[in-house]
Chain A
Amino acid sequence: MQRVAGVALAIATLLATTAFGGAANRTPEVRHEAPTCLDRSHSIPFVACVLPRSGVRAVDVVVRLPGSAAEQRQRLKSNMPCYSIPSDRVFKKNGAYTYFFEATLASGATMRSQLFHLTAASGDCASAVASGTSLPTPAPPRPRPAASPAPTPAPAPGPSATAPQARPHKSGKGRALLLALGGGVAGGIAAVAASRSNATATAAATPAPTFDGRIAGAWIGAQTLRYPSGCVEEDRIQLRLNESSGRVQGTLTFTVSTCLCCAVVQGGDHVSGSWDGKRLRLDTTGGLRYDGSVSGARLEGQLRGMGEITGDWSATQTP
């Protein structure tokens, strides 16, 4: 993908056509939004979402540095619902970088995304560096879609909930935007991107709140549910919790954001469980169990339920 005006966006499908999960139409795809410049840290936000996640053993990013044919490979860390680089890599050279993502499936097969291109120049994203917040200079106009996207919901906020906190120095919307899409091929991807961009930008400009130790209150985040068939459902979630002497009660509501194999619907549950100051356990009326713990300002953990459904979840407390 060549550099384009404004935010460089790429949707790439992994090149292999092998399907896993038992359905031919579930060939994994990777979604990644490439930056157009490097920010102060001169790191490339290697965040990619691969869907369906089930059946994917690992995801690597492979980078070719400017003026070199050598490839540098690095394993990405699962950062629900996507994958991201464990720590920022600094790219000090100016010039053309290319990179791609490679997924290793449980079967041992590997599949590659298309190449992404990034030209780094001195002073790239300098304005953002100077301000430390959003870009003070307007971004170049962007290509407009040919038609308005369908009004469908935006996806889970995994990246927007995690990336801004992990990367507080990232610049705001428009350029050098760390934005990984939750995947899926549902209509309304445009709305997905737009709202995520905004969410990311807003979060980047506002320091993430710190966890005050109280579980009671409202939490917003995301969850990924994996069905035995390989179906992956990604939701935005909201927890409303009350706590008394370690007993927790409340509600968990969700909105399906992306799912190749389920309807875009919303729903809710009453939850009850326990909180010991570090670990949270919740059971929903519908039979899902959420185990979580505090990580920074977030709650995150696993979920499981009847029908061998498993998954991950994370949420950040809202004021």
Chain B
Amino acid sequence: MRIWHPCLLAVLLAGVACQGTSPLATEPTPTPAPVCGDGILQPPEECDDGNADNNDACLVGCLTPPSWVTSDPHMHGWGCEQTQRGPEDLVRVLVDNDINVGAALVWGESPRVERELLTGQDSPASLPDHILHYDMEISHWAAQQTGHLVLLGLHEGTFSSNPKSSPKSGLRIVDWARAQGARVVVGMAHVQMALDGYYPDPNATCCVPWETPVHAVRGTLDFIETERRSADGVLDTSTEEMWTALQDSGFRVGVAGASDLSCIHHYMTMETPRTVAAVDPPLTYDRWLEALHRGRYTVVEGPRPDRLFLWVNGVGLGGELTAHRGDGLIVTIEMRSPTAPPVEILVNGHVAATLHPGSGHHVGTVRLEATTSAWIYARTRWVLTNPVYVVVDGQPVRASADHTCHLARYVGRLRWAASHGVIDLGSDSSIAWPAYDNAYQELQKRFREAGGDVCNE
């Protein structure tokens, strides 16, 4: 942040003294110089209660703690293996598992009685702190072959007169959903599945998120979703690699955790990922959607109480700040944990700092130097934040040519699959092929911007 005082600018530029009109010559006021912790609320403090207690409405560091909302953006009432849960049953799941927001997604196997619950409104079965809302997953419909889309914030759910046969690509469905309003949030489910590292498995029988990079290039994807933990971290390898590749290539796509109850998870377990979002009260489904849209959320493993938030120069999760090379970046984390996991702060996917705040509720600050445009996030063993974005000298994030090349090759495999019958685009070819080609070209362009030379399919 560079705020140039006009008088000083005059001095700098013309050597003009500003003595007569300099604001420096103002009468002294009784206002003391602000220092966080003095109990006096002054800019830039968000709060200042003058104590060192983090367990109140003001953190050490004079930051307002985020208001956390636990959520599951992907659950089903009429689930796999003929599991049937009505609205009251699902609300009971939310209550029993201390989940504040649940998105119950209708899909191709939902009976008409369930599809009619998608009204654009919260389910009447909702409780004040447990909102149940019906939305949609593109699953067991024709377009699932290009990836299972999670569509949140819909007002109505009829995207086709015959969804079992058309459309065959998710592109038109995303456009249909987006047309319903700005509150709509689009995710790609099952990113942990059917990927071998970066690349889709053409022999997989389910859930290959084929069109993920294409949606990202089109700017229509808010998040990718995992429903599985890893052995040593919050994200499984496939999701982490896809997310890192997208971020390194300059696509601001978040990562969310969900249960896919009762398909991936038949019950909520200690390992079922959740999405924990920072939502300003009062809690509503729209505010929760807004948090997802803005990237103000984290992935937490299971029902653990671990919470982690990140500010860079006072800008919180999902936000963007501008800087110049060499500028100081003040990175502050808030961490709550009953254990004492180390907190890693990662810049462009690489650990830049590790904090050891201990158990309890802590705040810590790390100072970094801006060297290049970056995505910065924090993680522990149990929780992972979405990034804060730093734009250095106006340049986009191009953090890894290798990762961008992986995405280009991924789209290359998609084109191969579409031309070899693995994916049958049917009449959607006229829309899908240009989008695939455009995505491939855009990724090749970003690959070169990242310093890459040759990226063959």
Contacts and interface: CB of A to CB of B under 8 A. Distances in A.
Contact of B1 (A199, A263, A268): A263
A189 B31 contact: no
Contacts of A201: 28
B33 A199 contact: yes
Contacts of A198: 28-32
A1 B19 contact: yes
Given A145-B25, A152-B3, A270 B367 contact: no
User: Which interface class (under 10, 10 to 19, 20 to 34, 35 or more) fits B?
Assistant: 35 or more
A261 B19 contact: no
B18 A194 contact: no
Contact of B332 (A13, A155, A231, A267): A267
Contact of A11 (B24, B26, B30): B24
A194 B28 contact: yes
A10 B61 CA distance: 34
A1 B20 CA distance: 10
A10 B325 CA distance: 31
A286 B356 CA distance: 8
A287 B354 CA distance: 8
Contacts of A268: 36-37, 59-63, 332, 363, 365
Contacts of A1: 17, 19
Interface string B328-364: 1111100000000000000000000101111000111
B381 interface: no
A96 interface: no
The residue in A9, A201, A254, A268 that gathers the most chain B C-beta atoms within 10 A of its C-beta is A268
Contacts of A22: 326
Interface in A180-199: 181, 185-199
A246 interface: no
B19 A199 contact: no
B369 A231 contact: yes
B37 A154 contact: no
B95 interface: no
Contact of A263 (B321, B353, B364, B369): B321
Contact of A227 (B12, B19, B43, B367): B367
Contacts of A9: 19, 22, 24-25
Nearest to A235: B35
B422 interface: no
B52 interface: yes
B3 A255 contact: no
B33 to A, nearest CB: 3
Given A6-B25, A238-B36, A153 B44 contact: yes
B376 to A, nearest CB: 14
Given A267-B61, A268-B37, A8 B19 contact: yes
Contacts of A63: none
A173 B28 contact: yes
B328 A262 contact: yes
B35 A262 contact: no
Given A194-B27, A255-B36, A255-B44, A261 B364 contact: no
Contact of B38 (A199, A238, A256): A238
Interface in A245-293: 250-251, 253-257, 259-270, 284-288
Contact of A145 (B1, B4, B23, B328): B23
B368 interface: yes
A142 B21 CA distance: 10
B85 to A, nearest CB: 43
Interface string A213-234: 0000000100001011111010
A265 B56 CA distance: 20
A285 B364 contact: yes
A236 B3 CA distance: 19
A184 B95 CA distance: 53
Contacts of B394: none
A67 B202 CA distance: 92
Contacts, number: 276
B379 to A, nearest CB: 16
Contacts of B38: 220, 238
A15 B17 CA distance: 13
A153 B21 contact: no
A6 B332 CA distance: 43
B420 interface: no
Contact of B326 (A254, A261, A266): A261
Contact of B367 (A173, A237, A250, A286): A286
A55 interface: no
Nearest to B7: A11
A271 B257 CA distance: 33
A236 B34 contact: yes
The residue in B17, B34, B311, B331 that gathers the most chain A C-beta atoms within 10 A of its C-beta is B34
Contacts of B112: none
A13 B12 CA distance: 7
Interface in B30-83: 30-38, 42-45, 52, 59-63
Nearest to A4: B19
B37 A238 contact: yes
Given A1-B17, A11-B22, A143-B25, A263 B60 contact: no
A250 B364 contact: no
B19 A144 contact: no
Contacts of B60: 251, 253, 268-270
A100 B90 CA distance: 76
B366 interface: yes
B313 interface: yes
B363 to A, nearest CB: 5
Contacts of B109: none
B131 to A, nearest CB: 33
Interface stretch (A78-86, A119-127, A163-171, A304-312): A304-312
B431 interface: no
Q: Which 6 A-B pairs have the closest CB atoms?
A: A268-B61, A190-B23, A229-B326, A285-B364, A154-B33, A263-B313
30 contacts: A2-B19, A11-B18, A21-B326, A29-B8, A145-B25, A185-B5, A185-B9, A186-B5, A227-B367, A229-B325, A236-B33, A238-B35, A238-B38, A253-B35, A253-B36, A256-B330, A266-B63, A267-B61, A267-B63, A267-B330, A267-B363, A269-B60, A270-B60, A284-B364, A285-B355, A286-B332, A286-B353, A286-B367, A288-B367, A309-B367
